[in-house]
Amino acid sequence: MEKHWKIVKKLQKLVHCDQFVVTGSIALNLHGLTKEQPHDIDIILANPTKPTIQMLETLQKMNPIPKRNMSYMDEFLYSFMSEGIEVNIFCQGKEEGCLWYDYVQVSPIMKIIQAKKGYRRIKDFQQLNDIAKSIMI
């Protein structure tokens, strides 16, 4: 996960917004709920500036994802490749209840679970089921 975290820290320095939050599988890993290596980087930006949006659009055009996941595409999502890793950036409102790790805000567990349930993807239900089983043991 070291390579993932270097990309997160680099992006944190490049973007300008009200809030920068790591979410998804990296956040679950940081919370200790999963040990698997994240396959992507999911970030939430609250109220990014226009130059940041322009930079994200450029990154998306210049570094496209070969097989883009269509399950959560919308106008507030920017996806691109960085050093061989898929990066998904969601632009939305501020995230409440975040924790901090290495000067980066991390989504709370319940927000990640709610998002995963909302996507209605088999892989997310399986991951949530695995997490629940590990807690129950």
Highest CATH level, class, for 2-108: alpha beta
Q: Which pLDDT band holds residue 72 (cuts at 50, 70, 90)?
A: low
Please give the pLDDT value at position 70.
Answer: 58
Rounded distance between C-alpha atoms, residue 57 and residue 59, angstroms: 6
Asked whether 81 and 64 are in contact (CB, 8 A), the reply is: yes
With a cut of 60, say whether residue 92 has pLDDT above it.
Answer: yes
- Greater confidence, 122 or 68? 122
The percentage of the chain sitting over the pLDDT mark of 70, rounded to a whole number, equals: 93
The pLDDT, as a whole number, for residue 137 is 66
Domain range summary for the chain, segments of one domain joined by +:
2-108
- pTM, entire model: 0.86
pLDDT over threshold 80, residue 74: no
pLDDT for 41-50, tens place per residue?
999 999 999 9
pLDDT of residue 19: 97
Give the pLDDT mean for 105-115: 89
What per-residue confidence (pLDDT) applies to 128? 74
